[in-house]
Structures are given as structure tokens and as C-alpha cells.
A and B are shown apart, each in its own frame.
Chain A
Amino acid sequence: MIQALILIAAALVHSLALAADPAPNRATADNGMALLQRVAQTAMTLSYSGVFVYRSGEREETSRIARLVVDGQELERIEVLDGSAREVIRDGKEVKCFLPGENRVIVERPAGVRGFPALLPVDLAGLEQNYAVRIGRLERVADTNCQALVLEPRDALRYGHQLWIEPNSGLLLKAGLVNKQGQVLESFTFTQFSIGSTFARQQLTPSAESQSGRVQQVQSSEPRPGEMKWVIEKLPAGFRVNKVMMRRAVKPAAASVTPNTQDVVHFVISDGLAAVSVFIEAAAANKPNEAITTAGAMNFYQRQIGDHRAIVMGEVPLVTVKLIGDAIERR
């Protein structure tokens, strides 16, 4: 899902690049791209608050979002309204997940990883080998006429994406991840949306309850020369390794911080839209050799390789995580 939205961003670049030299059969796809561009235009520099419903598999939750963009700096807080209090704050690239029910705060701070917009010249042609971009019809969503847009997978190794865009504002009102049978695996829909930074600033600060959790902070960086002992070469069609990182726990600054000193290898694999992560950690072989888990749109595959355990996850069909997991080899 996230990848779909990223792709939208990428698609925009693509449409501009193609504008200079359009191939005749690209008309539909390019119209789709133009529409996506509009979505993106609306979203940038946009401060807003709203409520959205997220459905994944059989579950459904409602969350409140407040997002403030000032001088290109973004600050965003999402608070889950159902069940136990949980929230995420995104401050630039840093993501903090507060899970007060578990007394935990997960901090993910990418380092040495290039972000937008430097990465933007992308391999969109590759994407179109994996997905067909198609403009759908006007459909009513949330009592509003929306333009449907479909990114249809060309094989069974990835899911499709459906987007509903309000044509006047370019607002993305709804997005869904669909399997080959047309079943929606995951979707989100805004039920309330107010544009502008009119919300109270407290909406951007974590609740006191959330802040008391023990902090687990991890820094990711490029592997040192000779450090990488793993390789994934025989990937399923259309997928490639985009990035390899070492995840290192940030040394505890206070006693309350749980140290997790083990370094973990993290591969990021993508087909241009769907992303799959592979984590390889040192682990004793005390679990089943292989295990497959499905949770909503996401599939997991765990595989014991000697004294290491590989965990493969992504919003892709089960067969894809398994194929990727089975392609892991020691260098």
C-alpha cells in the first residue's frame, strides 16, 4: 500500500519524462499519470487533519491524523481511536511508534539512506512491465464522484492497487490493495478531512502516556566493506534488491532503554511498486525450519539457515515471499 503511494509519486516523474516523447500506446497510462500528478500536487505542502478508516483483512480501525507542513518540514501525528491507545509521530524522516499498551516506543531513524527528492529519477519502465496502469470510471466514494485508477499486476507475484481520486481537488479519498481475485486485502478511506493547519498544536504532540514507554532505537547504515555475508540473487520475476543495510541498535543512553546489540541485515527488495523486506538475524535453530504467516495484506516467511534466521515480509502474495526467502544464500 505504502509502496503504491510512493509509486504514484514516482509515476508523476515518469509522466513528465514521457511528455517530451510520448509513444502512441501510452495515452491511457499517461492520463493516469497526469491524474496522479494532480493527487500529488494537492498533497504537497498541505496541512490537514482528518479521520480515516483502515481495513486490513478482517480488521478495521479508525484513526485521527494531524499533519503540519511548514517550509517543507513535515510533522505528523496519527492516533488510533479504537482499542488501546497507540500513535505514530513522523518528524521528517524519523518515525516513532508509541505502543503504550506494551510500554514500548519504536524509533526508526534511517541514516545514510537517500530520501526524496534525490532518488526520484526512477525506473518506471520496469514498473510498467509488472503492472498495467488503467484509468477506471467515475465512481461514487464517500458520497463524492471519484476517478478510479487501477494499477493491475501482470502476474501472480504481486497485488493490484485501486485508487479513488476526487477530480476537483485531487484528493485521494480511498485506496485499496487487491489480490488477483479482486478481493480487497487492505484499504483506507478518509471519512473526515479538513484542509489547513486549523487544528490545535497539541494534536501533534504525543500523549503523556505514550512517552513513558521504553525506547528502542535503531540506526540503519550501509554495510562496512566485507561485512555482508548474505546474497539474494535468484529473485522472482520483476523484483530486485534496492538496498542493503545493517541495522544497529543505538547504544542505550539510559537504563530504561532496552539494548538490542545484535546487528541485523536488512534487504529492501522491490518490483518498482511492491516492497519486500528481508531481515537476517543470528538465531538458534529452536523454531520450525520454515513458517508462513499471513496478516491482512502482508505475508511473512521465516526460514532458518544454520545459525541464522531470515524473516521475509511484504505486501505481496505468499508465493513471492517464499520465493524470495528461498533465494537467500550465504556468500
Chain B
Amino acid sequence: MSDRDLDRLLVERVQRGDKQAFGLLVTKYQRKLARLVSRLIWNSSDVEDVVQESFIRAYRALPDFRNDSAFYTWLYRIGVNSAKDWLVSNRARISATSAVDIEDVENYEIAEHHRDNDTPEEVLMSKQIAATVNAAVADLPEDMRMAVSLREIDGLSYEEIAEAMNTPVGTVRSRIFRAREAIAIKLRPLVSAGADKRW
């Protein structure tokens, strides 16, 4: 099963009335969407608003979601569109006939105009999380570190990792899980401060 298939299953659950399953998708894609939106909108609290709005729009539009496209691709469009709407209503600039043409927004984005618009606190938080995770990974036994890196950084499937590490898939599954648990234990004190933001 691909990641996309998993998303599809989650979407189907939501479409059958399982609202909670949507939370898994929100958690999964919120930062990716935030990074997208922050290329279009400067202020980080506005980014939060727009990302939130995007997910709510996505939820409302979910009955119309066609499973022949990937969920993130669809969510991405909603995110860009929400950002665009925000720009219109908060009046950046409205340009004549093309008004706020989506292509302009995306070209802008492709143009690597990425601005680091996070607040100093947010930058610090990111750095602390990254440092904690990296330190925790460094402390892992070699087999766990290798498994989780091949998965998260190189994006290999369990089967590919099993082949690369010459071990059964079940072992890979368990190494990755144990690696995550070990890292999470170090991470928890840090993220508990922001626990109220968590679903």
C-alpha cells in the first residue's frame, strides 16, 4: 500500500462519517501546508489562520473529493486558494484582468522566494526540536538508526529496507517503531509545552 492509498482510506473513513480520522490527516499535513502557505503569506499568525481555514474548507468539501486524485494534491489546491483568498480580502494587490491569478501565486512560489517569516520563538522551537531529534537519533543503536533513517530520510519501503539491511520485514517494522519511541521519549518534554495546540 502506498502513502496515497492510506490517505484514500482515511478520506473514505471521513466520508463515512468518521470525523476523528480527519485528525490524522490534519496532523500529517499541517506543517507541509504551513510551509506552502508561508511562501505566500508573510505573517506567521496569518499563516496559522489560513492553514486552519484550508483544513476546514477541505473537510467541508470532502464529499466532493474525487479519489482519483491524491489527497495532498487536492489539499494543496485548497491551501493555495485559501491563501489567495486571504490575500484578496486583506488586500495585498488586485491586478486587473487576471485579478489574483493562481498561476502568479504559484510562479512566485516556484521562484524560490522563500522567506523565513517565522517569529524568533518559532525558529528557536524548530531548532530545539531538530537538535533533540538528531541527538536522540545519534544515541540509537546502529540498526535502529539505520532503519529509521532509510525510512524517513531516504523514503524506502519496509521491504526495501529489509533488503538493504538483510533482515526480515517484521524486524524492520519493529526497529522503526522502537526508534520512534526512543526519540519520542526525548522529544516529549519539549513538545509538552505546546500540548494545548495538539489535537
In the complex, which of the residues A137, A189, A319 contacts B68, with contact meaning CB atoms closer than 8 Å? A137
Q: Taking the nearest CB of chain A, how far is it from the CB of B62, in angstroms? A: 10
CB of A183 within 8 Å of the partner chain: yes
Q: How far is the CA of A223 from the CA of B61 in the complex (A)?
A: 44
Kindly state whether residue A69 has any CB partner on chain B within 8 Å. Answer: no
Query: By the criterion CB–CB under 8 Å, are A317 and B61 in contact?
Result: no
Question: Nearest chain-B residue to A319 (Cβ)?
Answer: B99
**Residue from B64, B77, B102 in contact with A187 in the complex, judged by beta carbons closer than 8 Å:** B64
* Pairwise interchain contact B97-A319, C-beta atoms closer than 8 A: yes
Is A134 at the interface (CB under 8 A from chain B)? no
Among listed A86-94, A174-182, A280-288, interface-contacting one: A174-182
Chain A: number of interface residues, binned into ranges: 10 to 19
Mostly helix, strand, loop or mixed at chain B's interface? helix
Please give me the residue from chain A that is nearest to B74 by CB atom.
Answer: A182
- A183 (CB) vs chain B CBs: closest residue: B81
Distance of A187 Cα from B64 Cα, bound (Å): 9
Q: How many residues of B contact A (CB 8 A)?
A: 17
Q: Is A228 an interface residue (CB 8 A)?
A: no
Q: Are B98 and A183 in touch, CB under 8 angstroms?
A: no
Provide the main secondary structure of the chain A interface. mixed
A residues in contact with B64, CB < 8 Å = 176, 184, 187
Query: Looking across the interface, which residue of chain A has its beta carbon closest to that of B66?
Result: A139
Q: In the complex the two chains form, what is the Cα distance from A189 to B63 in whole Å?
A: 10
Residues of chain A lying within 8 A (CB to CB) of residue B74:
182
A317 to chain B, nearest CB (A): 7
Q: What residues on A are CB-neighbors of B78 within 8 Å?
A: 181, 183
Closest to A180 in B: B102
When distances are taken between beta carbons in the complex, the residues of chain A under 8 Å from B98 are 156, 319
| Cα distance A139–B60 in the bound complex, in angstroms | 19
Inter-chain contacts of A156 with B (CB < 8 A): 98-99, 101
Task: Write 21 A-B pairs (CB below 8 A) sorted by A numbering.
Answer: A55-B60, A137-B68, A139-B66, A139-B68, A156-B98, A176-B64, A180-B102, A181-B77, A181-B80, A182-B74, A182-B77, A183-B78, A183-B81, A184-B61, A184-B64, A187-B64, A189-B63, A318-B99, A319-B98, A319-B99, A323-B97
Which 5 pairs show the lowest CB-CB distances between chains A and B?
A319-B99, A184-B64, A181-B81, A181-B77, A182-B77
Residues on B facing A (Cβ under 8 Å): 57, 60-61, 63-64, 66, 68, 74, 77-78, 80-81, 97-99, 101-102
